């Protein structure tokens, strides 16, 4: 049992149809799911109380993950072994609570993101593409144009890539990799964007990603 009021961290998966739930909608969904499961979230003090929950690395719409982390507290003691099943039963399809534990490491120690992806090519040879992709991402610098709040900016994404591998199958190229989650943050979508901007002949017809694990600077699993 964990005492009421303890800082808690939830690890959860967001897959299948749930990948289209936006970050803001997911926060609302979480609040409601906790209520449905009978876990009373702790609210902020003040004029307009709201549950104090925070999701560590907001996930883009369309991307899947099996390593999402969310911080929260409850106003009642918690049987941590029971939570995953009970909370998952109160979730929309595709969101699964995996484990909950007290505390957790400081957010700023989170550094790397392990991911996998699929690049779909409708009318090109995946083996050829995989070879091209390996060469492309081996470049020492990959400068892309990004939309920012103040218009567009240039940014080199190469330093944010620790490792990427590409293996072709029938119609697709499968990607595995480790990219920077924070400082700088690299949205995996930019891997496909880089191709669209700098090597359109390698740009996939469709790309999707899945977060597999979060790690610290030493590549130790972050919890």
Partner 1 sequence: MDPRLKRILPKVQKPARYTGGEYNQTVKDKDQVELRCALCFPDTYEIGMSNLGMRILYHTINSMPGVWCERCFAPWEDMETELRAAGLPLYALESGDPLKDFDALGFPIGYEMAYTTVLNMLDLAGLPVRSADRPDLLPLVFAGGTSCCNPEPMADFLDLMVIGEGEALDNEVLELLRTAKREGWTKQTYLRAAARIPGVWVPSLYQPEYDEDERFTGLTPLSGAPETVTKRIVEDFENSPFPTKQIVPSTEIVHDRVNLELFRGCIRGCRFCQAGQVYRPVRARSAEKLIQQGIESLQATGYQEITLSSLSSSDYRELGQLCDGLLDYCVPRSIGLALPSLRADNFSMDLMQRVQKVRKSGLTFAPEAGTQRLRDAINKNVREEDLLESCRVAFAGGWNNVKLYFMLGLPTETDEDVVGIAKVAEDVYRLWREHAVNKARGVRITVSTSCFIPKPHTPFQWAPMVTKEEYLRRVKLLRSSIRSRAIVYNWHDAETSEIEGVLSRGDRRVGAVIEAVWRKGGRLEAWSDFFDHARWMAAFEACGVNPDDYTLRPRAAGEPFPWERVNMGVTRRHLWREWELTQEDRLSPDCRAGCVGCGARALLGCCPDHDVEMGGESA
23 contacts partner 1 (rule: CB under 8 A): no
* 181 DSSP 8-state letter: S
146 contacts partner 1 (rule: CB under 8 A): no
Per CB under 8 A, the segment of 18-26, 140-148, 150-158, 193-201 that binds partner 1 is 18-26
Q: What is the 3-state secondary structure (H, E, C) of 38-88?
A: CCCECECCCCCCCECCEECCCCCCCCEEEEEEEEECECCCECCCCHHHHHH
How many residues bind partner 1 (CB under 8 A)? The answer is: 28
Q: Which is nearer to partner 1, 31 or 197 (CB)?
A: 31
18 contacts partner 1 (rule: CB under 8 A): yes
Query: Which residue of 84, 92, 187, 199 would you call a contact of partner 1, by CB under 8 A?
Result: 92
Strands 172-180 and 110-120: antiparallel
How far is Cα 53 from Cα 30, in angstroms, rounded to an integer? Answer: 9
How far is Cα 147 from Cα 159, in angstroms, rounded to an integer? Answer: 19
Say if CB 209 and CB 116 are below 8 A apart. Answer: yes
* Shortest distance in whole angstroms from residue 80 CB to partner 1: 21
Supply the Cα-derived Rg of the chain in whole angstroms: 20
Say if CB 161 and CB 155 are below 8 A apart. Answer: no
31 contacts partner 1 (rule: CB under 8 A): yes
Q: Which is nearer to partner 1, 35 or 127 (CB)?
A: 35
CB atoms within 10 A of CB 8: 22
Per CB under 8 A, the segment of 105-113, 124-132, 200-208, 212-220 that binds partner 1 is 200-208
Query: Which residue of 93, 154, 170, 218 would you call a contact of partner 1, by CB under 8 A?
Result: 93
115 contacts partner 1 (rule: CB under 8 A): no
Query: Which residue of 56, 142, 208, 215 would you call a contact of partner 1, by CB under 8 A?
Result: 208
Residues that bind partner 1 (CB under 8 A): 16-18, 20-22, 25-26, 28-29, 31-36, 43, 49, 61-62, 90-94, 205-206, 208
């Amino acid at each position: 049992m964990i005492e009421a009021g303890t800082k808690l961290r939830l690890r959860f998966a967001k897959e299948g149809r749930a990948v289209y739930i936006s970050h803001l909608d997911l926060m609302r969904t979480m609040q409601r799911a906790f209520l449905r499961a009978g876990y009373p979230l702790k609210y902020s003090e003040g004029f307009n109380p709201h549950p104090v929950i925070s999701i560590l690395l907001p996930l883009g719409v369309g991307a899947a993950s099996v390593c999402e982390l969310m911080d929260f507290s409850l106003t009642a003691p918690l049987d941590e072994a029971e939570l995953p099943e009970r909370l998952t039963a109160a979730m929309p399809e595709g969101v699964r609570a995996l484990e909950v534990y007290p505390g957790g490491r400081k957010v700023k120690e989170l550094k790397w993101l392990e991911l996998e992806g699929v690049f779909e090519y409708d009318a090109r040879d995946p083996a050829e593409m995989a070879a091209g992709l390996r060469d492309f991402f081996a470049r020492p610098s990959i400068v892309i144009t990004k939309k920012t709040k103040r218009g567009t900016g240039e940014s080199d994404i190469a330093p944010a890539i620790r490792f990427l591998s590409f293996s072709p199958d029938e119609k697709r190229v499968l990607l595995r990799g480790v990219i920077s989650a924070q400082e700088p943050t690299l949205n995996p979508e930019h891997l496909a964007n880089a191709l669209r901007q700098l090597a359109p002949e390698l740009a996939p017809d469709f790309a999707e990603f899945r977060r597999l694990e979060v790690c610290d600077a030493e590549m130790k699993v972050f919890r």
